[in-house]
Chains A and B, each alone.
Chain A
Amino acid sequence: MYKEFIKAYFIAKKDMGAYYLKPPLISWGLMLPIVFVLAFYFRNPAGIKEVVPGLIGLTLLFSCTSMAAIVITFEKRIGALERLLLAPLNFRTILLGKSLGSTLFGLMVAVFITLILIPLMGLSIRNFWAFVLIYIFSGLAFSLLGILISVGVKEVFEAMTMSNFFRFPMIFLCGVFFPVSSMPFPLPILSYLLPLTYTVDGLKHCLLEDKGMIPLYLDLLILLGFVFFLFSLSLFIFKKRIRQEF
Chain B
Amino acid sequence: MGTLGENLMTNSMKDIIQVRDLTKSYGSTLAVDHISFDVKEGEVFGFLGPNGAGKTTTIRIMVGLTQPGSGTAWIDSHDILKEPVEVKKTIGLVPETSNLYGELTALKNLIYQAELYGVPKKERRIRALDLLEEFNLKEHQEKPFQALSRGLKRRLTIAAALVHHPKILFLDEPTTGLDVMSARGLRKLILDSKKKGLTVFLTTHYIPEAESLCDRIAVIVKGKIRVIDTPENIKAQVKETEILEIGLDRITEDLKNKLLVMEGIEKILVSENRIRFHTKKLDQITHPVIKVLEEQGAKIETINTLSPTLEDAFVKITGLDSELMKIDKPMKMGPE
Tell me the A residues contacting B by CB distance below 8 Å. Answer: 3, 7, 10-11, 14, 17-19, 77-80, 82-90, 243, 246
Contact = CB atoms under 8 A, between A and B. Distances in A.
Contact of A77 (B63, B103, B118, B333): B333
Given A14-B101, A14-B104, 7 more contacts: A3-B118, A7-B116, A78-B99, A79-B335, A80-B335, A88-B85, A243-B67
Given A17-B104, A89-B85, A79 B64 contact: no
Contacts of B60: 246
Which of A11, A79, A86 is most buried by chain B, counting CB atoms within 10 A of its CB? A86
A89 to B, nearest CB: 7
Contacts of A87: 88, 113, 116-117
A83 B66 contact: no
B64 A86 contact: yes
Contacts, number: 70
A79 B116 contact: no
A82 B85 contact: no
B116 A89 contact: yes
A72 to B, nearest CB: 14
B301 to A, nearest CB: 47
Contacts of B330: none
B118 A80 contact: no
A146 B86 CA distance: 31
A24 to B, nearest CB: 14
Given A10-B115, A87-B88, A88-B117, A82 B103 contact: no
A19 B101 CA distance: 10
A18 B118 contact: no
A80 B99 contact: yes
Contacts of B95: 79, 82
A77 B108 CA distance: 21
B116 A17 contact: no
B335 A78 contact: yes
Interface in B113-131: 113, 115-118
Interface of B is mostly: loop
Given A79-B99, A80-B100, A10 B116 contact: yes
A80 B333 CA distance: 11
B112 interface: yes
Contacts of A10: 112, 115-116
Nearest to A243: B67
Contacts of B115: 7, 10
Contacts of A88: 85-86, 88-89, 116-118
A243 B65 CA distance: 8
B82 interface: no
Nearest to A22: B103
A246 B66 CA distance: 6
Contact of B103 (A19, A79, A89, A243): A19
Interface in B48-80: 60, 63-67
Interface in B284-336: 332-335
Which of B100, B116, B335 is most buried by chain A, counting CB atoms within 10 A of its CB? B116
B87 to A, nearest CB: 8
A86 B101 contact: no
15 contacts: A7-B115, A7-B118, A17-B108, A18-B104, A78-B99, A78-B333, A78-B334, A79-B99, A79-B333, A80-B101, A82-B99, A83-B100, A85-B65, A88-B116, A90-B85
A84 B113 CA distance: 9
B127 to A, nearest CB: 15
A79 B334 contact: yes
Smallest CB-CB A-B distances: 9 pairs = A79-B99, A87-B116, A18-B103, A10-B115, A88-B88, A79-B334, A88-B89, A88-B85, A246-B65
Which of A3, A79, A246 is most buried by chain B, counting CB atoms within 10 A of its CB? A79
Given A14-B104, A18-B103, A88-B85, A82 B112 contact: no
Contacts of A84: 116
B104 A86 contact: no
A240 to B, nearest CB: 12
Contacts of A3: 118
B14 to A, nearest CB: 22
B102 A78 contact: yes
B156 interface: no
Contacts of A11: 116
A79 B172 CA distance: 14
B186 interface: no
B93 interface: yes
Nearest to B63: A86
Given A17-B104, A88-B85, A82 B65 contact: yes
Given A14-B101, A79-B97, A79-B334, A85 B116 contact: no
A86 B90 CA distance: 11
Contacts of B64: 85-86
